Amino acid sequence: MTKLYEKLFKSCPSEGEIKKGLKKVYSGISGAPDRKTLMEILSVIDQTSLNTTDNKSSILQLTGKINSFNARYSNIPSVAAICVYPNFVPLVKEKLTARNVKIAAVAGGFPASQTFRSIKVAECKMAVDAGADEIDFIFNVGAFLGNDYQTVADEIREIKSNIGKAYLKVIIESGLLHNIEQIFNASMIAMDAGADFIKTSTGKTSVSATPESVFVICRAISVFYNETGIRVGIKPSGGIASSKDAIVYYNIVKHNLGAEWMNPSLFRIGSSRLANDVLSEIIGSRVDYF
């Protein structure tokens, strides 16, 4: 590992700091969020379909809804990206016409990262070559928990070097990590190796995003930025289904990282269900558009 990583790891927040910070965040949330905030939240959602049953028809249907969103809701921003399995990237690339909506693909042995490194690298590169703008890559959780940090970093670095200008969102599967230090440590390793985003979870484990884990990741990103001048994004994901959930994460990110992070280039929320709830809150009646 690098000297930079070793230096920054010492800045891990304590449990007391996290509790104090979250208390301040919660105290600042009063009543229903305003329309502007709800629209900002909608604009950072990665609209996700990662089901075993996904097929050409279901992905075409989702892509079509994203394409027609602005015609139906002309004064409301669309989602930031459509996130799919890599085999559907060519289809989405062919059919997606919505402006400013990115194509994200989970790749690299998702969701377990338990395959040959060459396959991980090849899958990520193939997805980008097929049209993906962003790769959501699950880092090697097994190697990390086995203290083989060099393997973790080397895989991230190799994938980043093979996907060109595409964003690399590194999933640290925070729900499987044992404590604050491991979440902070995993975030630092990923950023030091070239991650463009730190993402909490695959959504395939019993524990996904939590306010505590997102607070710790934000703190790691802040420390890394203060040391290097490099802005790394954050993506809470997994189990975020309501605007009430989303507003908590929105405020944690804003509290720790500031207004500069409150845009799709540095902040995303991954969900298959959240967009409908946020859209319903904006409109004022129940909508099941997506």
- Render pLDDT for 37-91 as a digit per residue (tens, 0 to 9): 999 999 999 999 999 999 999 999 999 999 999 999 999 999 999 999 999 999 9
CA atoms within 13 A on the CB side of 27: 6
Q: Phi and psi dihedrals of 217, rounded to 5? A: -65, -45
CATH annotation of 3-283: 3.20.20.70
The answer to whether the CB of 180 falls within 8 A of the CB of 18 is yes
Q: What is the pLDDT of residues 148-203, one digit of tens each?
A: 999 999 999 999 999 999 999 999 999 999 999 999 999 999 999 999 999 999 99
The stretches of the chain forming alpha helices (DSSP H) are 3-8, 15-27, 35-42, 56-72, 89-95, 117-129, 141-145, 149-162, 180-192, 211-228, 243-257, 274-283
- Note the pLDDT of residue 106: 98
- Note the pLDDT of residue 2: 62
State yes or no: pLDDT of 15 exceeds 70. yes
State yes or no: pLDDT of 1 exceeds 60. no
Name the pLDDT band for 32 (thresholds 50, 70, 90).
confident
pTM above 0.75, yes or no: yes
Identity of residue 149: Y
- Note the pLDDT of residue 31: 80
Show which residues are catalytic.
136, 199, 235
Cα 249 to Cα 7, 97, 113, 237, distances in angstroms = 28, 30, 26, 10
Q: Please give the residue that has the higher pLDDT: either 261 or 3.
A: 261
Q: Which of 24, 8, 2 is nearest to 221 (CA)?
A: 8
Q: Phi and psi dihedrals of 242, rounded to 5? A: -125, 155
- Note the pLDDT of residue 200: 98
